[in-house]
A and B are shown apart, each in its own frame.
Chain A
Amino acid sequence: GAVVSQHPSRVICKSGTSVKIECRSLDFQATTMFWYRQFPKQSLMLMATSNEGSKATYEQGVEKDKFLINHASLTLSTLTVTSAHPEDSSFYICSARRGAGGTYEQYFGPGTRLTVT
C-alpha cells in the first residue's frame, strides 16, 4: 500500500515557540491531505482539509492563524503550530488521498506527538 510519512515523530518545545510538522506521501501524489488531532483515549478530530495549491479548509473551532497548513506540492503538506502552548500538546496525524472522491483510499501517517512545556 501507499506510504505516508510524518516528521518529526516526537517533538518537545517550549511554550511560545512554533513547531512545524511535515507530512509526505512517498509513493503517490496526494491531491487531498487531512490533518487530525487526537487527545489521549479519544477519537480523531479533523482539523483541516487541504487540496494541493489551494488554501486549507478548516473545521469549525480550529484557529487558522494558530494552525497554519500549507499544501504546496502533491507530496508535501505542513502543519505549523504557532506560539504553541501546553494545551496544544496532542497527537497530530496527517492523512493523504489521491483524489477528492470517496473511492480513493486514505492513507495515514504514523503521527507526531507534540509536547509543549
Chain B
Amino acid sequence: AQKVTQAQTEISVVEKEDVTLDCVYETRDTTYYLFWYKQPPSGELVFLIRRNSFDEQNEISGRYSWNFQKSTSSFNFTITASQVVDSAVYFCALSERASGGSYIPTFGRGTSLIVHP
C-alpha cells in the first residue's frame, strides 16, 4: 500500500483559478513530517513546506496555503489565483523513522498542474 497518495495525476486549470492538490498519507508513527515540493520542467525540486505531526496549524504563504488534518490523514495544498508559472509537478512526501533511526522520506506519485493562460 502506498504511504503517500496523490490521487490527482493531472490537473488543468485556467489562470486565476484556485486549485487544490490532495495528499493523503498513511503512518503508524506519532512523530512524522510532511512536505510539499515543486518540480518545474527544469527538474530541480523546490522545497515548499514542512510540517511536523504535532503542528496542525494551517499555513498561508502568499498564494499558497496548506491544510493539515490528522483526523483524515491529509495534507492538502491550495494555490489561489493560479498563474502560468505555477505549472509544474507537485510532490507530497512523508518522512517517518526507519528501523535504523533515521528519518526516511517517501514521495507520492506527484500531481502535474497545468495552468493555461
Contacts and interface: CB of A to CB of B under 8 A. Distances in A.
A43 B102 contact: no
Interface of B: 31-33, 35, 37, 42-45, 47, 50, 52, 91, 95-97, 100-110, 112
Contacts of B108: 43
A43 B100 CA distance: 24
Nearest to A51: B102
A105 B110 contact: no
With a 10 A CB-CB cut-off, give which of B33, B104, B109 has the most chain A CB atoms: B104
Contacts of B95: 102, 106
Contacts, number: 59
A43 B44 contact: no
Interface string A73-117: 000000000000000000101010000111111111111010000
A54 B33 CA distance: 25
Contacts of A111: 43-44
A91 B42 CA distance: 11
B15 to A, nearest CB: 23
Contact of B104 (A46, A105, A109): A46
With a 10 A CB-CB cut-off, give which of A1, A108, A109 has the most chain B CB atoms: A108
A88 to B, nearest CB: 17
Contacts of B32: 102
A108 B37 CA distance: 10
A44 interface: yes
